[in-house]
Amino acid sequence: MSAEAFQRRPSSFSRRGRLLFALLLAALLSWISLGLSLEDLVPREGGRSILALFMEGALNPAFDYEAASVPEGTPPLLVKVAGAAANTLLFAIAGMSLSLIIGLVLGFLGSTSWWAAEGAVSPLGRGPLRKLMPLLYAGVRALIALMRSVHELLWAILFLAAFGLNNFSAVIAIAIPYGGTLAKVFSELLDECPRESARNLRAIGAGPIQVFLWGLLPRAIGDMSAYSFYRFECAVRSSAILGFFGYPTLGYFLRLSAENVHYREVWTYLYALIVIVIVLELWSTKLRARMVIR
Amino acid sequence: MNSPSKGFELAGVSVLYEEHPALLDFDLRVRPGEALAFVGPSGAGKTTALGLCNATVRPTSGSVSLDSEDLSEAANARLRELRARIGFIPQELGLIPNLRVSQNVLAGRLGHQGLFASLRPLLRAGSAELEKVLAILDRLGIGEKLFHRVDSLSGGERQRVAIARTLYQEADYLIADEPLSALDPARARETISLLTEVARENELGLILSLHDIELAREFIPRLIGLRRGRVLFDKPAKDVTEDELAELYRLEDTDRVS
């Protein structure tokens, strides 16, 4: 009997070996077909001076305009940087708050834990409608995939064409792909979190949304908020880049300064972005410590 | 709380898990306020029998009813109402570890509440509700833990939180799956004594599964011996003979499959 068990030893090595080989091959092929060579990273004659100028700016960011003269009534550079940073945050917050709602709703609908479990009471009831549950689930997963497979810059191009350069175009351009990504990760976190509290609440008569809010959400909320913080950081960067389309965020001014070869100003804007990200990081670390440890 | 009810009635129930029988042709009547325990080796069908009573396990054949109402035919909303009358403490207690004791106890009444009514206790419970919770916790000797997080409590304290939740639920029955399994002997005795006492005080029907046959005989008036999905005996604890117990726990090669 035990000899038989030994015979059934999984042939994991060969399968793992094959997978590893395929991954290595894919990496190698991509490098070869793109013709990547480290020589490409050696700057050319003209590029070298630009690079030097750019790196110099890093050590010596601007506190005032580099241009000899600026038009009458232009605010001081640092005021402009602060305003651009505030706008960057505003777009990120507006986009993120919308995507959190999308992420929570679709994440709930896209997780299997509230309907596939034994004895579960699904939102579609226990009658014949229950047979539609896999369909609803598949539809939500497809929607989530669609939302996040298009990058926020592409959404922005679409909405700018449709609605023009208004602030809402930028906010939903962020909210859609971010909502999709949050929904995917939320649904997976909800599915992975231990279900015994949820099962128990269900057994004493709680409805599906109550089970979700009381039994699942509290158990996943730590990981969910950590991930949301990370996404917020990404939203700040996206919001800055949306400035390239003309929104008054850091990207807009960064681009203008770069076009004028005012690299010291570029670095001032970059440092503002870096400071925002660092402050967010510190804040999230503090919050997480309070949530997890105790 | 005790309307003229007839309690649980299971008639000719079989439960198959992918052809593998967990319970076969099982009959049971439980009167309101009665205390009974399923005993028997692992894999005998004890947990399945408990699950039938709160409709978390569906019978493959036969019927399960509470006060003459068929559980497997109850619609969604009605099923919730019926489940709200039945407290349940699973083996792993089913508490929410990163919520406070108060919130865990307040969750006991979710089955009685609509969605919006149940949001308030999660976010900010009223003083009247909290006082009620505190009175129950005091009765169980852990009143000072009201606002502690459950994951900061000891195993015995958690067990009491689970009992408190059922009391706050104001259920008619309490089903507990192996409530003594993770406890040392002294604490096991204390817990079963507390369970039976609390059940008697609150006129709760008590339906347990137990592996500790000595404590079961001492504290529970009616024992049902289950072996390989069949009832070996169903009688007052004092009438259970040593021969019957030997038969109940007799080892066979196939029994080791849990």
In this prediction, residue A127 has a pLDDT band, given cuts at 50, 70 and 90, of low
Residue after which a domain boundary falls, among B170, B194, B219: B170
Measured CA to CA, the distance from residue A190 to residue A188 in angstroms comes to 5
- B242 CB-contact burial (10 Å; exposed 0-12 / middle 13-18 / buried 19+): exposed
- Residues A156-186 as b/e (b if ≥16 CB within 10 A, e otherwise) read beebbeeeeeeeebbbbbbbbbbbbbbbbbb
DSSP-derived 3-state class of residue B233: strand
pLDDT at residue A53, as a whole number? 84
A128 in contact with B, Cβ within 8 Å: no
Chain-chain contact of A200 with B118 (C-beta, under 8 angstroms): no
Both B158 and B181 in one domain: the answer is no
In this prediction, residue A292 has a pLDDT band, given cuts at 50, 70 and 90, of low
The structural domains of chain A, with segments of one domain joined by +, span 76-292
pLDDT at residue B112, as a whole number? 86
Both B129 and B81 in one domain: the answer is no
Both B81 and B104 in one domain: the answer is no
Distance of CA A68 to the CA centre of its chain: 40
Chain B's closest residue to A124, CA to CA, is: B76
pLDDT at residue A293, as a whole number? 42
In this prediction, residue A136 has a pLDDT band, given cuts at 50, 70 and 90, of confident
Residue after which a domain boundary falls, among B138, B170, B202: B170
Number of domains observed in the structure of chain B: 2
Chain B's closest residue to A117, CA to CA, is: B56
pLDDT at residue A125, as a whole number? 59
Both B104 and B182 in one domain: the answer is no
Residue recorded with tokens 């945050």: A89
Both B140 and B15 in one domain: the answer is no
Instruction: Indicate the CATH number for domain A76-292.
Output: 1.10.3720.10
Measured CA to CA, the distance from residue B156 to residue B150 in angstroms comes to 11
Amino acid in position A138: A
A143 in contact with B, Cβ within 8 Å: no
How big is chain A by its Cα radius of gyration, in Å? Answer: 26
B9 CA: distance to closest CA in chain A (Å):
19
A127 in contact with B, Cβ within 8 Å: yes
Domain that holds residue B63: 1-85+173-258
Measured CA to CA, the distance from residue B188 to residue B208 in angstroms comes to 14
In this prediction, residue A290 has a pLDDT band, given cuts at 50, 70 and 90, of confident
pLDDT at residue A1, as a whole number? 54
DSSP-derived 3-state class of residue B13: strand
Which residues of chain B are within 8 Å of residue A195 when distances are taken between CB atoms?
none
**Among A residues 9-68, those touching chain B with beta carbons less than 8 Å apart:** none
In this prediction, residue A289 has a pLDDT band, given cuts at 50, 70 and 90, of confident
CA A286, A292, A293, A294 torsion-angle sign: positive
Q: List pLDDT tens digits, range A233-257.
A: 999 999 999 999 999 999 999 999 9
Measured CA to CA, the distance from residue A250 to residue A242 in angstroms comes to 9
A129 in contact with B, Cβ within 8 Å: no
Q: Does the pLDDT value for residue A276 go beyond 90? A: yes
Q: List pLDDT tens digits, range A75-119.
A: 888 899 999 999 999 999 999 999 999 999 999 888 877 666 544
Measured CA to CA, the distance from residue A78 to residue A288 in angstroms comes to 32
Contact in structure between A271 and A61 (CB atoms under 8 Å): yes
Q: What does chain B come to in residues?
A: 258
pLDDT at residue B166, as a whole number? 93
> Which range (A20-24, A282-286, B232-236) has the least confidence?
A282-286
CATH number at residue B140: 3.40.50.300
Chain-chain contact of B79 with A203 (C-beta, under 8 angstroms): no
Chain B's closest residue to A206, CA to CA, is: B111
- Of A51 and A158, the structure prediction assigns the larger pLDDT to A158
pLDDT at residue A211, as a whole number? 86
Residue after which a domain boundary falls, among B170, B187, B222: B170
Residues of chain B with pLDDT under 70: 1-5, 252-258
Which positions ≥6 away from A28 have C-beta within 8 Å? none
